[in-house]
A and B are shown apart, each in its own frame.
Chain A
Amino acid sequence: NAGVMQNPRHLVRRRGQEARLRCSPMKGHSHVYWYRQLPEEGLKFMVYLQKENIIDESGMPKERFSAEFPKEGPSILRIQQVVRGDSAAYFCASSPNPGQGSNQPQHFGDGTRLSIL
Protein backbone atom coordinates (compact mmCIF):
# COMPACT_ATOMS: atom_id res chain seq x y z
CA ASN A 1 0.00 0.00 0.00
CA ALA A 2 1.67 3.19 -1.19
CA GLY A 3 -0.80 5.51 0.54
CA VAL A 4 -0.42 7.56 3.70
CA MET A 5 -0.21 5.15 6.62
CA GLN A 6 -1.34 6.13 10.08
CA ASN A 7 -1.23 4.04 13.21
CA PRO A 8 -2.81 3.18 15.41
CA ARG A 9 -6.27 3.49 13.89
CA HIS A 10 -7.82 3.72 17.33
CA LEU A 11 -6.12 4.83 20.54
CA VAL A 12 -7.63 4.93 24.02
CA ARG A 13 -5.90 6.84 26.80
CA ARG A 14 -6.80 7.87 30.32
CA ARG A 15 -6.59 11.48 31.35
CA GLY A 16 -3.01 12.47 32.11
CA GLN A 17 -1.39 9.84 29.88
CA GLU A 18 0.58 10.50 26.72
CA ALA A 19 -0.65 9.78 23.21
CA ARG A 20 1.68 9.14 20.27
CA LEU A 21 0.27 9.12 16.76
CA ARG A 22 2.39 7.99 13.84
CA CYS A 23 2.26 8.86 10.17
CA SER A 24 4.25 7.53 7.23
CA PRO A 25 3.79 9.68 4.11
CA MET A 26 3.19 8.39 0.62
CA LYS A 27 6.26 7.15 -1.18
CA GLY A 28 8.07 10.08 -2.72
CA HIS A 29 6.38 12.67 -0.48
CA SER A 30 8.56 14.63 1.89
CA HIS A 31 5.96 17.02 3.32
CA VAL A 32 3.60 16.08 6.10
CA TYR A 33 0.59 17.89 7.53
CA TRP A 34 -1.47 17.10 10.63
CA TYR A 35 -5.13 18.00 11.00
CA ARG A 36 -7.65 17.48 13.80
CA GLN A 37 -11.30 16.70 13.23
CA LEU A 38 -13.74 17.29 16.06
CA PRO A 39 -17.30 15.88 15.89
CA GLU A 40 -19.54 17.81 13.47
CA GLU A 41 -16.57 19.91 12.40
CA GLY A 42 -14.33 20.05 9.39
CA LEU A 43 -10.65 19.41 9.64
CA LYS A 44 -8.49 22.04 11.33
CA PHE A 45 -4.86 22.48 10.36
CA MET A 46 -2.35 21.84 13.13
CA VAL A 47 1.19 21.64 11.77
CA TYR A 48 3.23 21.30 8.60
CA LEU A 49 6.59 19.55 8.61
CA GLN A 50 9.37 18.60 6.30
CA LYS A 51 12.10 16.16 7.23
CA GLU A 52 13.72 17.43 10.45
CA ASN A 53 11.96 20.81 10.16
CA ILE A 54 8.74 22.30 11.46
CA ILE A 55 7.62 24.75 8.79
CA ASP A 56 4.32 25.99 10.19
CA GLU A 57 2.87 25.11 13.59
CA SER A 58 0.37 27.94 13.77
CA GLY A 59 -2.51 25.54 14.39
CA MET A 60 -0.91 23.64 17.25
CA PRO A 61 -2.07 24.27 20.81
CA LYS A 62 0.69 26.04 22.69
CA GLU A 63 0.95 23.44 25.42
CA ARG A 64 1.11 19.64 25.54
CA PHE A 65 1.22 19.14 21.75
CA SER A 66 4.37 18.58 19.73
CA ALA A 67 5.24 17.12 16.35
CA GLU A 68 8.34 15.85 14.66
CA PHE A 69 9.37 14.34 11.36
CA PRO A 70 12.81 12.80 11.83
CA LYS A 71 15.28 12.02 9.10
CA GLU A 72 14.40 8.36 9.44
CA GLY A 73 11.02 6.98 10.38
CA PRO A 74 7.49 8.30 10.54
CA SER A 75 6.19 11.65 11.63
CA ILE A 76 4.98 11.66 15.24
CA LEU A 77 2.27 13.79 16.79
CA ARG A 78 2.65 13.69 20.55
CA ILE A 79 0.08 14.81 23.08
CA GLN A 80 1.19 14.92 26.69
CA GLN A 81 -1.11 14.79 29.71
CA VAL A 82 -4.20 14.21 27.58
CA VAL A 83 -7.55 15.70 28.58
CA ARG A 84 -11.11 14.82 27.51
CA GLY A 85 -11.11 17.66 25.00
CA ASP A 86 -8.30 15.99 23.05
CA SER A 87 -10.74 13.29 21.91
CA ALA A 88 -10.91 13.64 18.15
CA ALA A 89 -9.82 12.12 14.88
CA TYR A 90 -6.31 13.11 13.88
CA PHE A 91 -5.45 12.98 10.21
CA CYS A 92 -2.11 13.09 8.53
CA ALA A 93 -1.66 14.18 4.94
CA SER A 94 1.35 14.29 2.67
CA SER A 95 2.33 15.96 -0.56
CA PRO A 96 5.31 16.40 -2.82
CA ASN A 97 7.12 19.72 -2.55
CA PRO A 98 4.17 22.12 -2.46
CA GLY A 99 5.99 25.21 -3.62
CA GLN A 100 4.31 28.50 -2.84
CA GLY A 101 0.58 28.32 -2.15
CA SER A 102 0.60 25.06 -3.93
CA ASN A 103 -2.14 23.50 -5.92
CA GLN A 104 -0.62 20.13 -5.15
CA PRO A 105 -3.37 18.14 -3.45
CA GLN A 106 -2.70 16.67 -0.07
CA HIS A 107 -3.25 12.93 0.26
CA PHE A 108 -4.80 11.81 3.53
CA GLY A 109 -4.41 8.76 5.72
CA ASP A 110 -7.34 7.00 7.38
CA GLY A 111 -6.74 8.82 10.64
CA THR A 112 -6.27 7.92 14.28
CA ARG A 113 -9.38 8.07 16.47
CA LEU A 114 -8.24 9.16 19.91
CA SER A 115 -10.56 8.56 22.84
CA ILE A 116 -9.81 9.89 26.30
CA LEU A 117 -11.43 8.12 29.24
Chain B
Amino acid sequence: AQSVTQLGSHVSVSEGALVLLRCNYSSSVPPYLFWYVQYPNQGLQLLLKYTSAATLVKGINGFEAEFKKSETSFHLTKPSAHMSDAAEYFCAASGAGSYQLTFGKGTKLSVIP
Protein backbone atom coordinates (compact mmCIF):
# COMPACT_ATOMS: atom_id res chain seq x y z
CA ALA B 1 0.00 0.00 0.00
CA GLN B 2 1.05 3.52 -0.73
CA SER B 3 2.29 5.60 2.19
CA VAL B 4 3.44 9.19 2.52
CA THR B 5 5.66 10.46 5.30
CA GLN B 6 6.16 14.10 6.17
CA LEU B 7 9.11 14.73 8.45
CA GLY B 8 8.38 17.36 11.07
CA SER B 9 4.86 18.09 12.19
CA HIS B 10 5.86 21.70 12.93
CA VAL B 11 8.39 23.88 11.15
CA SER B 12 9.24 27.48 12.08
CA VAL B 13 11.18 29.84 9.85
CA SER B 14 11.94 33.52 9.95
CA GLU B 15 10.34 35.81 7.42
CA GLY B 16 12.59 35.90 4.36
CA ALA B 17 14.27 32.59 5.17
CA LEU B 18 14.23 29.42 3.09
CA VAL B 19 11.25 27.12 3.53
CA LEU B 20 11.91 23.38 3.27
CA LEU B 21 9.13 20.89 3.96
CA ARG B 22 10.00 17.23 3.58
CA CYS B 23 7.96 14.47 2.01
CA ASN B 24 8.90 10.87 1.28
CA TYR B 25 6.73 8.30 -0.40
CA SER B 26 6.89 4.54 -0.46
CA SER B 27 6.20 2.96 -3.79
CA SER B 28 8.11 0.76 -6.19
CA VAL B 29 6.45 2.67 -9.02
CA PRO B 30 6.78 6.46 -8.95
CA PRO B 31 3.33 7.76 -8.15
CA TYR B 32 1.65 11.02 -8.95
CA LEU B 33 2.57 13.47 -6.21
CA PHE B 34 0.87 16.60 -4.96
CA TRP B 35 1.36 19.33 -2.40
CA TYR B 36 -1.68 21.00 -0.89
CA VAL B 37 -1.94 23.91 1.55
CA GLN B 38 -4.68 24.29 4.14
CA TYR B 39 -5.45 27.57 5.89
CA PRO B 40 -7.43 27.44 9.15
CA ASN B 41 -11.03 26.33 8.72
CA GLN B 42 -10.63 26.03 4.99
CA GLY B 43 -10.27 23.25 2.47
CA LEU B 44 -7.11 22.16 0.70
CA GLN B 45 -5.70 24.24 -2.11
CA LEU B 46 -3.43 22.64 -4.70
CA LEU B 47 0.09 24.11 -4.71
CA LEU B 48 1.67 21.88 -7.35
CA LYS B 49 1.70 18.40 -8.81
CA TYR B 50 4.29 15.98 -10.20
CA THR B 51 3.22 13.91 -13.18
CA SER B 52 6.59 12.67 -14.52
CA ALA B 53 6.96 15.42 -17.13
CA ALA B 54 9.73 17.20 -15.22
CA THR B 55 11.47 16.50 -11.93
CA LEU B 56 11.41 20.13 -10.80
CA VAL B 57 7.87 21.36 -10.49
CA LYS B 58 6.91 24.97 -10.01
CA GLY B 59 3.70 25.83 -8.24
CA ILE B 60 1.77 28.82 -7.04
CA ASN B 61 2.93 31.44 -4.53
CA GLY B 62 6.60 30.87 -5.34
CA PHE B 63 6.72 27.24 -4.16
CA GLU B 64 8.46 24.47 -6.01
CA ALA B 65 9.22 20.81 -5.41
CA GLU B 66 11.80 18.41 -6.76
CA PHE B 67 11.07 14.76 -7.42
CA LYS B 68 14.03 12.52 -6.57
CA LYS B 69 13.38 8.91 -7.42
CA SER B 70 16.60 7.66 -5.83
CA GLU B 71 15.55 9.19 -2.51
CA THR B 72 11.78 8.60 -2.97
CA SER B 73 11.35 12.22 -1.99
CA PHE B 74 9.29 15.19 -3.10
CA HIS B 75 10.37 18.04 -0.84
CA LEU B 76 8.66 21.43 -1.04
CA THR B 77 10.74 24.62 -1.02
CA LYS B 78 10.34 28.35 -1.22
CA PRO B 79 13.39 30.65 -1.29
CA SER B 80 11.93 33.37 0.94
CA ALA B 81 9.13 32.87 3.45
CA HIS B 82 6.32 35.36 3.73
CA MET B 83 3.98 35.79 6.67
CA SER B 84 1.08 34.69 4.48
CA ASP B 85 2.75 31.29 4.01
CA ALA B 86 1.84 30.29 7.57
CA ALA B 87 -0.50 27.32 7.11
CA GLU B 88 -0.54 23.54 7.14
CA TYR B 89 0.98 21.74 4.17
CA PHE B 90 0.06 18.26 3.03
CA CYS B 91 1.94 15.98 0.67
CA ALA B 92 -0.23 13.43 -1.16
CA ALA B 93 0.25 10.61 -3.62
CA SER B 94 -1.86 8.56 -5.95
CA GLY B 95 -0.69 5.41 -7.66
CA ALA B 96 -1.29 4.04 -11.11
CA GLY B 97 -4.74 2.53 -11.29
CA SER B 98 -5.86 4.24 -8.09
CA TYR B 99 -8.08 7.26 -7.61
CA GLN B 100 -7.38 7.57 -3.93
CA LEU B 101 -5.10 10.25 -2.62
CA THR B 102 -2.92 9.07 0.24
CA PHE B 103 -1.95 11.98 2.46
CA GLY B 104 0.89 12.58 4.85
CA LYS B 105 0.00 13.82 8.32
CA GLY B 106 0.82 17.39 7.44
CA THR B 107 3.39 19.98 8.47
CA LYS B 108 2.36 23.21 10.16
CA LEU B 109 4.51 26.08 8.99
CA SER B 110 4.97 29.09 11.24
CA VAL B 111 6.65 32.23 9.95
CA ILE B 112 8.32 34.43 12.55
CA PRO B 113 8.49 38.17 11.83
Contact = CB atoms under 8 A, between A and B. Distances in A.
Contacts of A66: none
B44 A43 contact: yes
B77 interface: no
B51 A40 contact: no
Interface residues of A, number: 31
B113 interface: no
Contacts of B96: 100-101
Interface residues of B, number: 28
B105 A45 contact: no
B102 interface: yes
Interface string B37-81: 000011111100101000000000000000000000000000000
Interface of B: 4, 9, 32, 34, 36, 41-46, 49, 51, 90, 92, 94-106
Contacts of A110: 41-43
B96 to A, nearest CB: 4
B43 A106 contact: no
Contacts of B32: 101-103
B49 to A, nearest CB: 5
A43 B46 contact: no
A98 interface: yes
A109 B94 contact: no
